Structure 1
Amino acid sequence: MISIDLDPMTGLPRGATRTTPFTLEGHPAGHSGRRLKVAMIGAGFSGIIAGIRIDQRLKNVDLDIFEKNHEVGGTWFENSYPGLSCDIPAHCYSLTFEPNYRWSHFYASGREILGYLKGVAAKYKLERFLRFGHKLSAAQWNEETKQWHLSFDLVDEQGNKHGETEKVADVVIQGMGGLSRWDWPSIEGIHDFKGTKYHSAAYPAGPEAEQGKTVAVIGSGSSSIQIVPALQPYAKRVDNFVRGQAWIATPFASTELLKRSPDASNYAFTEEEKTRFEQDPEYYHEFRLSMERELNGVHGVTLRDSELQTGAVEAFRELMQKKLAAKPHIAKAFIPNFAVGCRRLTPGPGYLEALVEPNVDFISTGIKRITETGIETVDGQHREYDTIVCATGFDTTFTPRIPIIGRNGTNVQHLWGDKYPYPSHYLSMAIGPDHPNFFVINGPNSSLGSGSLLVLFEKEVDYIVDSIDKMLRENITTMAVKQEAVDDWMEYTHEYFKGTVFSTKCRSWYKRGLEEGPVCALWPGSALHAIQVLAHPRWEDFTYEASNSNRFGWVGNGWSKEEVEGGDTAYYLDAIDQPPVPQ
């Protein structure tokens, strides 16, 4: 055995010296008095959850929530197209700690969800932290000051720039969302059209604006599937241009709801039901439990050749053929030959029914170009329109449109755009060792193939809040994930998806709009899997820099906060974890 002679005064080998002298920090354990500036980017669900939890759980934090719009809501503020609604039951699309007992319908409209978000933000008085009209234009890490320098364009309510400003932050949380960046489709002549032209992400009019008009809707994603049935009763004619295929699922309905109505798609809660939800919390809790359990019970459908997958293909094909019986050519062109869930699955209430209406045409012939008066397809036919609606989706590459430059000049635009064929990350929330103190909510591989997305957002926020708390408690100046942890997580992620339907051949935003490629949008597992993985941070996967050369400098001067400030010096007796006695 090797014996090392230690100096009892320093704890170091005899003769060894510190490179810098150590002195006790004059504060109680874990309470240096240091404050952290935290910048939250975005005021959608992510920003609202983060604002509430940071305010609740962290002291010595100066929080700013920067939002480019002039209201909260994120994607639910920016999207307002006809028929907009959530394809998750409304009571499952609510924060766990802030239920809404008074949803009007089983599937809530976008307008109602926006109202819910505004109400939550107002209840928790987030206006203290909100900085509207701030559009992030660049972020750069300063290694000397250990801070992020943030550049913002100041924009008015129409999005027009009228100035610039600079801010610094010790910690940045990105919550800008993936369903807010849109572009016009790359179709020849798209800007030559002389009629009315909308993108689904910037649709300022209601369906009544198309009264008596001829309308073209381009796309077959979830937006198009909601827009077509919304316009059909008003328009003289609606032509839906569809280049791909999609599964239209039966609307989700809990067993509890099916007892009341065979059709959940348009189910409206009665005043009596809303009142009972409010007045009987136990009843409401059981109601929501039943729905969430069933949502979490369909994860098996995402696995290749599973019994649930086979059953879903048969059931959905039968459903679609039945609803499209009046126009069988649509069923032939539209029913997929790929697995259920390979593309995002949507219940699409009323969509198939609208397609068989006399004033709706389904056009699967490819578009050659857009003219001043309409659309020409590759077979030479030209159709004229008053309005063209581009329901062609969003930029889902995850590559930021602004430079986010960390250590060594590492720009996320290049890291996630050129260096790898996929956005590399750690548990969807951290980028890599060159981007310390930078966290992401709803980042790559953060959506769900099944289950409640908002619960995942809440758990990501909990993880990030715990990380900031550690930085405050231990007086950490930088916290950065190790590259080997990023590499191991990405290896796990890619291996997992090999056994799922998401990696089969179909064009999907899950794969950044490609038919084949790495799955970049979805969590590699079920919703419950994500909750359990994020429950306990792996602090060993990070590197840290402390303000003191001694890693235990943060323990202070030997006193506790309770002794110094006059608190309860026997507080531990009120927090006893009493073990059960075995019988």
Structure 2
Amino acid sequence: MATMPVTNGVSAHRDEADQLPKVPIHSERQMRVICIGAGASGLAFAYKLQRSFDNFSLSIYEKNLDISGTWYENRYPGCACDVAAHNYTYSFEPKPDWSSVYAGSEEIFGYFRDFANKYGLRKYIKTRHEVVGARWDPQTDQWHVQVKDHASGSVYEDFCHILVNAGGILNNWKWPDIKNLDLFKGPKLHSAAWDPSIDLDGKTVGLIGNGSSGIQLLPEILPRVKSLTNFIRTATWVAPPLRGIEQHKYTEQELSDFANKPGLLLEHRKKYQTSTSGVFNLFIKGSETQKLVRDTMEKHMKAQLQDPDLESKLIPNWSVGCRRLTPGIKYLESIKKDKVNLVISSVTEFTPTGCKCANGNEYNFDVLVCATGFDVSFRPRFPLLGRDGKNLQDIWQKESKGYMGVGAPDMPNYFVMLGPNCPIGNGPIMAAIEAQADYILKWCDRWQTENIRSFTPKWEAVEDFVAHSDRFMQSTVWTENCSSWYKGNSVTGRVSALWPGSTLHYLETLAQPRADDYDVVYKGNRFNYLGNGFSQTETDLTSDWAYYIREKDDSEYLSKKKQRQILTKSGSKSGSAFKVI
């Protein structure tokens, strides 16, 4: 066989991969995709993949009995989203019949169930199937994925070209890491694994936690119990709803208007979304918004508590927003009731009848309720072996250093939705999920229409992104002296959960993938995708072969500024310029 000259020590043998293709430019090859999780992120990805792509196969593995992720798992009394329901939908899929401003978990579960059914997404989903391992094979440029069938207990292997981890961040619940938990003889409940068969009526209850779940739980179970002791380690800001987004049950007339008056629901949704997007300035240290909101919330808490001793214990000395804001509907009123005992002290160990605390006291109760949160380390829950066999569990053992909230170093053709430093607490989260799905699919399109073997975020790009994020975080309240899952449930750790900017900032960032931040490996000659010299247009006899001939220039603008102005309808609203801090 004839050979080409050797260049830079590399033989230029023309193997089969370098033969001139016999297909037009951008011809699609079969693409196999595996998605882990069928919650809000996984369903958004499946919908968008199905809408825009052909010649693909998709398998979504969901460990639970049904879809919807955290909204399937969290069924505790009072469980609701702390975001207004009309904000907690896909941008293109409104729900005119939400029962109230802040919807309960059952209603939110129904939204995602109906979404999956409407668009035929269940054909991709295998419930009670859990991914327990994955390994990148550089010889075949594929992920080998180990899947456990919970019905049979067997483990089998699947493979894909693109692996998407949409397992979520707030659904890997855990018991508190407190000594002698098993010693406690009474029933134990966790907010994320609620057992409704456990009777609380007339019981004495110990409730650990005053985060989102604890704040929602306490007022709901209080009427049923004999007494309740709420153990909290630190004070927290208990927020009134944002102005204009107070809790409210929609009337029949409002629901009818949303369904039948054109444009009314869209206007309502945009109003709520604008309010949520506008909150970001709150998180900037020393901003006027921070000062105003802190003053408002302090007055709100004092008005509810009306007890100097409780005020001194429950109103934090750190800024509003250092921990995730939670609308505290009825919580402050409830903790003042006679049958509530508030203990501001860490639980140090459990006893057969209750617990001991760092304050030296022992407390007894019949039922233990833990509202103690989730594992938010971002480490995969299974061995994920990428380039050169490196395990992402090990890479992220101490710090989760990712790329733009979607990528991970040394993990080819792999994406994580709501990964490290994504905007999960910065503003509208559903918009960010959609932006991530769009970003991933732009890379899927490149893989399918070019002769790419793999694409992997460069370590250099990851380190630069992390360094930028860390510098930015110093200007925010998130680095203050409060314990937060934003910092891996620590006080002084790195802010690994949040994006260095607003949600709208994130949407602009992800709009155009930066290919130079990736190591892209091609199969043979990188220009083989050019094919046989013919265009895709010439293969479609129903298309206009002179599509570029027109009477005026209606082409898209090429600068980011012009594109953004058209997309956001710049100039359509009155208002002063945003003040950059």
Same fold by TM (over 0.5)? Answer: yes
Whether 1:511 aligns to 2:487 is yes
| Cα distance per residue 1:318-364 (max 9 Å; x no partner) | 11111111x43222111101111111111111110111122212111
Whether 1:568 aligns to 2:543 is yes
Secondary structure, counterpart of 1:281 in structure 2? coil
Aligned CA distance change for structure 1 residues 72 and 579 (closer, same or farther; 3 Å):
closer
Give, in angstroms, the shift of residue 228 of structure 1. 0.4
Per the alignment, residue 455 of structure 1 pairs with 431
TM (norm. structure 2) is 0.90
What amino acid is the match of 2:238?
I
Whether 1:199 aligns to 2:190 is yes
Aligned CA distance change for structure 1 residues 378 and 564 (closer, same or farther; 3 Å):
closer
The partner residue of 2:532 within 557, 565, 578 is 557
Aligned CA distance change for structure 1 residues 281 and 173 (closer, same or farther; 3 Å):
farther
TM (norm. structure 1) is 0.90
Whether 1:278 aligns to 2:259 is yes
Cα distance in 2, alignment partners of residues 577 and 81 from structure 1: 57
Asked if structure 2 preserves the Cα contact closer than 8 Å seen for 1:34 and 1:475, the reply is no
Give, in angstroms, the shift of residue 304 of structure 1. 0.7
Secondary structure, counterpart of 1:277 in structure 2? helix
Per the alignment, residue 23 of structure 1 pairs with 19
Per the alignment, residue 438 of structure 1 pairs with 414
Secondary structure, counterpart of 2:136 in structure 1? strand
Q: Which moved more, 1:178-187 or 1:41-50?
A: 178-187
Cα distance in 1, alignment partners of residues 318 and 169 from structure 2: 25
Q: Which moved more, 1:117-126 or 1:554-563?
A: 554-563
Whether 1:164 aligns to 2:155 is yes
Give, in angstroms, the shift of residue 378 of structure 1. 3.7
Cα distance in 1, alignment partners of residues 472 and 169 from structure 2: 23
What amino acid is the match of 1:572?
Y
Asked if structure 1 preserves the Cα contact closer than 8 Å seen for 2:418 and 2:424, the reply is no
Aligned CA distance change for structure 1 residues 406 and 357 (closer, same or farther; 3 Å):
same
Aligned CA distance change for structure 1 residues 571 and 164 (closer, same or farther; 3 Å):
farther
Cα distance in 2, alignment partners of residues 307 and 349 from structure 1: 26
What amino acid is the match of 1:506?
C
Cα distance in 1, alignment partners of residues 358 and 427 from structure 2: 41
What amino acid is the match of 1:314?
D
Secondary structure, counterpart of 1:224 in structure 2? helix
1:136-151 equivalences in 2 (<5 Å): 136-151=131-146
Give, in angstroms, the shift of residue 544 of structure 1. 1.8
Secondary structure, counterpart of 2:337 in structure 1? coil
Give, in angstroms, the shift of residue 78 of structure 1. 0.9
Q: Which moved more, 1:196-205 or 1:186-195?
A: 186-195
Give, in angstroms, the shift of residue 316 of structure 1. 1.1
Identity of aligned residues (%): 36
Asked if structure 2 preserves the Cα contact closer than 8 Å seen for 1:229 and 1:351, the reply is yes
Cα distance in 2, alignment partners of residues 303 and 501 from structure 1: 6
The partner residue of 1:353 within 318, 327, 333 is 333
Secondary structure, counterpart of 1:209 in structure 2? coil
Per the alignment, residue 103 of structure 2 pairs with 108
Cα distance in 2, alignment partners of residues 365 and 494 from structure 1: 31
Cα distance in 2, alignment partners of residues 121 and 579 from structure 1: 35
What amino acid is the match of 1:392?
T
Aligned CA distance change for structure 1 residues 579 and 562 (closer, same or farther; 3 Å):
closer
Cα distance in 1, alignment partners of residues 131 and 288 from structure 2: 47
Q: How many residues align?
A: 547
Give, in angstroms, the shift of residue 526 of structure 1. 0.5
| Cα distance per residue 1:443-488 (max 9 Å; x no partner) | 1111333320010000000000111001111131211122221111
Aligned CA distance change for structure 1 residues 503 and 579 (closer, same or farther; 3 Å):
same
The partner residue of 2:467 within 469, 481, 491 is 491
The partner residue of 2:166 within 165, 175, 178 is 175
Cα distance in 1, alignment partners of residues 74 and 544 from structure 2: 53
Structure 1 gap ranges (5+): 1-9, 258-263
Aligned CA distance change for structure 1 residues 60 and 577 (closer, same or farther; 3 Å):
farther
Per the alignment, residue 74 of structure 1 pairs with 69
Cα distance in 2, alignment partners of residues 280 and 535 from structure 1: 33
The partner residue of 2:308 within 310, 317, 328 is 328
The partner residue of 2:406 within 404, 422, 429 is 429
* TM-align CA RMSD: 2.1
Per the alignment, residue 5 of structure 1 pairs with none
What amino acid is the match of 1:53?
K
Cα distance in 2, alignment partners of residues 253 and 284 from structure 1: 19
Asked if structure 2 preserves the Cα contact closer than 8 Å seen for 1:89 and 1:252, the reply is no
The partner residue of 2:522 within 546, 549, 573 is 546
What amino acid is the match of 1:27?
V
Aligned CA distance change for structure 1 residues 188 and 550 (closer, same or farther; 3 Å):
closer
Secondary structure, counterpart of 2:436 in structure 1? helix
Cα distance in 1, alignment partners of residues 540 and 239 from structure 2: 60
Secondary structure, counterpart of 1:251 in structure 2? coil
Secondary structure, counterpart of 1:368 in structure 2? strand
Asked if structure 1 preserves the Cα contact closer than 8 Å seen for 2:423 and 2:502, the reply is no
1:361-376 equivalences in 2 (<5 Å): 361-376=341-356
Secondary structure, counterpart of 1:478 in structure 2? strand
Cα distance in 2, alignment partners of residues 501 and 493 from structure 1: 14
Asked if structure 2 preserves the Cα contact closer than 8 Å seen for 1:448 and 1:526, the reply is no
The partner residue of 1:397 within 364, 370, 377 is 377
Cα distance in 2, alignment partners of residues 73 and 349 from structure 1: 25
Secondary structure, counterpart of 2:505 in structure 1? helix
Whether 1:311 aligns to 2:292 is yes
Aligned CA distance change for structure 1 residues 471 and 577 (closer, same or farther; 3 Å):
farther
Asked if structure 2 preserves the Cα contact closer than 8 Å seen for 1:341 and 1:449, the reply is no
Asked if structure 2 preserves the Cα contact closer than 8 Å seen for 1:561 and 1:567, the reply is no
Cα distance in 1, alignment partners of residues 179 and 500 from structure 2: 38
Cα distance in 2, alignment partners of residues 454 and 39 from structure 1: 21
Whether 1:341 aligns to 2:321 is yes
Asked if structure 2 preserves the Cα contact closer than 8 Å seen for 1:153 and 1:165, the reply is yes
Cα distance in 2, alignment partners of residues 377 and 37 from structure 1: 53
